[in-house]
Amino acid sequence: MEQGNVFFIKAREFCQKRMQTAVLEDTAAMVAQKMVDQNVSSLVVVSDEKPVGIITDKDLRNKVILVGADAREITAENVMSSPLVFVEEDDDLFEAVYKMSKHKIHRIAVVDPGGRLCGIITDSDILRLQANTPQFLIRDIEHAQSIDDLKKILKEITMLVISLHKTGVKTPDIVRLIAHMNDSLLLRIIKILKRERFRNLPGGFAFVALGSEGRMEQTLKTDQDNAIIYADDLTVAQVSEIASFSNELVDSLIEVGVPPCPGGTMAKNPPWRRSLGEWKSVVDKWIAVPSHDSILHYSMFSDVRTVYGDPNLEFRIKEHIIRRGSENAIFLAHMAKNVVNFEPPLGIFGKLKLKKEGEHKGLLDVKSGGIFPISDGIKVLALEGGFLTGGTREKIDLLCQSGSLSRGDGADLLTSFNFFSTVRLRSQISEIEAGKPPSNFINLDELNNIEKMSLKIGFEAVKSFQNLLKLRFRLDFISD
């Protein structure tokens, strides 16, 4: 979607709702004091909650100070500019921009169907909106001088994602944007750390993203999944410096607003900071003993992607991951078994099953029963085929090209994966706007009947895919 399409959001979604107003009987002195207290350059004048005019600092200067009027006597009714130009709350933002340009004004009121004031839009707001684009945010990231600067920008990234989603940008495009923004944020943190405390940081290592972050498939529920791979020939002092750097980097990410991994999969923790040779040995151990944790760790680590440092280290460990995984049919079967164990939330006669207890009671888990079985099931097939290129969508395409997955199954899985991702993102936006942390659970009450049917069709596609995995890897012969 073109950048200009952000101007087709509704005025009510964009306007400033918390604002000070004046009434007709207020004196100019009272109006001026309100403007000083609120640090604003204008006040809307209301009568019975309906806007009847506006007073700007220019009005006070021209109609009070320059003519020698007594600010304690002259009232708002005699100072205000009227009639007030307005848009209705259901008008597109573009309508507000058009009217502001037409009337050569810097502010415009937003009213509800009853004509009552519900907000105001200023030309400064419009300029900020134009600046709140990927290009401008990346520029802001590159110019940030502190962690506090980046903390503010992370919030702006969230607002940009919300705006893009509401204006119809497709979820895969938004997800890629989130990944690029997160990478830019992390690289700027690294630059700040190197400038302030790690001027002599050695080379020969890579800071890598894992899991959905590695696949560039994170949405607004972002926690950290990262690791360090370093060359086998580094000195003890160099490894120690990298360890200190890793601690600072992970803590800085937390300070910026990226939560820690609940399972501890972070480069500050020694198990996730190893030499290339050590990582190869760890991968071999995961494959040799395919426990639940081994499969989880192997799957997450197989998504390894270099964000900073030597990409050759990623290439060499990924080569090892693919070679050792693809040649071990028993391990692949256990990975497939783990995928099949995550059943879609479908009950009898295809009824959608909701959580029965806990903080998410009455909600539907779209990740564990939908997104995860597709992403990890596709990963198993990709490993069987000897590759781990790209994210889930790219893997589906390559599997279809190679004949490992039928075009029909691939299309069904891709459609389902995109739909699950879209309803999850929309739900996360609703949670953020309600002041809640984003989750992987959705409220069926927020879906229309067609969307509910699409959910069922998507989960049926997951069940069909799991049956394919059962047959392909002969899972009836694999014990849990």
- Report pTM: 0.74
Predicted pLDDT at 416: 98
Other Cβ atoms within 10 Å of 86 Cβ, number: 21
In this prediction, residue 135 carries a pLDDT of 67
Q: 183 and 292 share a domain?
A: yes
pLDDT for the residue numbered 4: 44
Single out the residue in 284, 317, 350 at which a domain terminates: 317
Instruction: Tell me: do 396 and 460 sit in the same domain.
Output: yes
The reply to whether 288 and 147 lie within a common domain is yes
What's the domain range around 205? 132-317
- The answer to whether residues 425 and 344 belong to one domain is yes
Cα 24 to Cα 408: distance, rounded to the nearest angstrom: 68
In a domain, 390, yes or no: yes
CB atoms inside a 10 Å sphere around CB 184: 22
> Could you tell me if 299 and 361 lie in one domain?
no
User: Is residue 326 a part of any domain in this protein?
Assistant: no
Based on the fold, state whether residues 110 and 237 are members of the same structural domain: no
C-alpha R_g of the chain: 28
Q: Are residues 154 and 197 in the same domain?
A: yes
CA nearest neighbour of 427 among 386, 366, 352, 477: 366
147 is a domain residue:
yes
Q: What is the pLDDT of residues 243-271, one digit of tens each?
A: 999 999 999 999 999 999 999 999 999 99
Let me know if residue 325 belongs to a domain.
no
Is residue 121 domain-shared with residue 156, that is, in the same domain? no
Same domain, 113 and 139: no
Classify residue 351: in a domain, yes or no: yes
Cα gap 188→192, rounded to integer Å: 6
State the CB neighbour count (10 A cutoff) for residue 141: 22
Question: How many domains does one find in the chain?
Answer: 3
* Cβ 321 vs Cβ 299: under 8 Å: no
- Domain assignment of residue 111, yes or no: yes
Whole-number pLDDT of residue 17: 72
Given this model, what pLDDT does residue 7 score? 63
Residue 322 inside a domain? The answer is: no
Looking at the domain assignment, is residue 323 inside a domain? no
Same domain, 112 and 139: no
Residues 409 and 417: their CA atoms lie apart, in Å, by: 12
Residue 442: the pLDDT is 96
Residue 31: per-residue pLDDT: 93
CATH of the domain at 199: 3.30.460.10
Decide which of 96, 126, 156 is a domain's last residue: 126
Per residue of the chain (480 residues), what is the pLDDT tens digit?
A: 344 456 667 888 888 777 789 999 999 999 999 988 888 888 999 998 899 999 998 999 999 998 999 999 999 999 999 888 999 998 888 788 878 877 888 889 999 999 999 889 988 777 766 656 776 788 889 889 999 999 989 988 898 899 888 878 889 989 988 998 899 999 999 999 999 999 999 999 999 999 999 999 999 887 899 999 999 999 999 999 999 999 999 999 999 999 999 999 999 999 999 999 999 999 999 999 999 999 999 999 999 999 999 999 999 999 999 999 999 999 999 999 999 999 999 988 888 999 988 888 999 999 999 999 999 999 999 999 999 999 999 999 999 999 999 999 999 999 999 999 999 999 999 999 888 999 999 999 999 999 999 999 999 999 999 999 999 999 988 776
CATH number for the domain spanning 349: value is 1.20.120
120 with 136, same domain: the answer is no
Mark whether 356 and 457 lie in a shared domain: yes
Among 89, 105, 126, the domain boundary falls at: 126
Single out the residue of 109, 156, 158 nearest to residue 131, CA to CA.
156
**HEC string for the chain:** CCHHHHHHCEHHHHCECCCCEEECCCEHHHHHHHHHHHCCCEEEEEECCEEEEEEEHHHHHHHHHCCCCCCCCCEHHHHCECCCCEEECCCEHHHHHHHHHHHCCCEEEEECCCCCEEEEEEHHHHHHHHHCCHHHHHHHHHHCCCHHHHHHHHHHHHHHHHHHHHCCCCHHHHHHHHHHHHHHHHHHHHHHHHHHCCCCCCCCEEEEECHHHHHCCCCCCCCCCEEEEECCCCCHHHHHHHHHHHHHHHHHHHHHCCCCCCCCCCCCCHHHEEEHHHHHHHHHHHHHCCCHHHHHHHHHHCCCEEEEECHHHHHHHHHHHHHHHHCCHHHHHHHHHHHHCCCCCECHHHCECCCCCCCCCCCEECHHHHHHHHHHHHHHHHHHCCCCCCCHHHHHHHHHHHCCCCHHHHHHHHHHHHHHHHHHHHHHHHHHHCCCCCCCEECHHHCCHHHHHHHHHHHHHHHHHHHHHHHHCCHHHCCC
Residue 80 has a pLDDT of 94
